[in-house]
Amino acid sequence: MAEPLTAFCPYYHQAVELVGGRWTGVIIRAMLAGKQRFGELAASIPGISDRMLSERLKELEAAGIVVRTVYPETPVRVEYRLTPKGQALAGVVQAISDWSLEWLVPREELDSHRAAG
């Protein structure tokens, strides 16, 4: 958009606090990177508890960002996927990631960090 931002927008408010909720932005990033199983998500996010991951996935489902599919196999297989609304957050995740690499990474770590993506 070419117009300057207004000082306040309720939809922006809702979006920024949704994505920035504790662990939420991290879970969305892991899903964008292809993680789909509960165990895969838990393993890829250091420090998250199963209970917290489960709560956040339920919130994201309620917000229409994640869909949960249960496959009736033995043992039951459950997959989480981003909806189109969730996939559309890729630009947000990328913008935050870019800013963090530019402004939060200590200079001496920057080269190795960039190389790791």
Q: Which residues are near a copy of itself by CB under 8 A?
A: 1, 3-22, 24-26, 29-30, 32-35, 44-46, 85, 88-89, 91-105, 113, 116-117
Check if the beta carbon of residue 70 is closer than 8 Å to that of residue 83: no
Least spacing, CB of residue 97 vs a copy of itself, in Å: 5
From CA 56, how far away is CA 19, in angstroms rounded?
11
Least spacing, CB of residue 94 vs a copy of itself, in Å: 7
> CB-wise, 58 or 114, nearer to a copy of itself?
114
> CB-wise, 71 or 103, nearer to a copy of itself?
103
From CA 30, how far away is CA 40, in angstroms rounded?
9
Least spacing, CB of residue 49 vs a copy of itself, in Å: 15
> CB-wise, 77 or 99, nearer to a copy of itself?
99
Q: Which residues contact 89 (CB under 8 A, 6 or more apart)?
A: 19, 28, 32, 65, 82
> CB-wise, 36 or 78, nearer to a copy of itself?
36
Q: Which of 95, 104, 73 is nearest to 28 (CA)?
A: 95
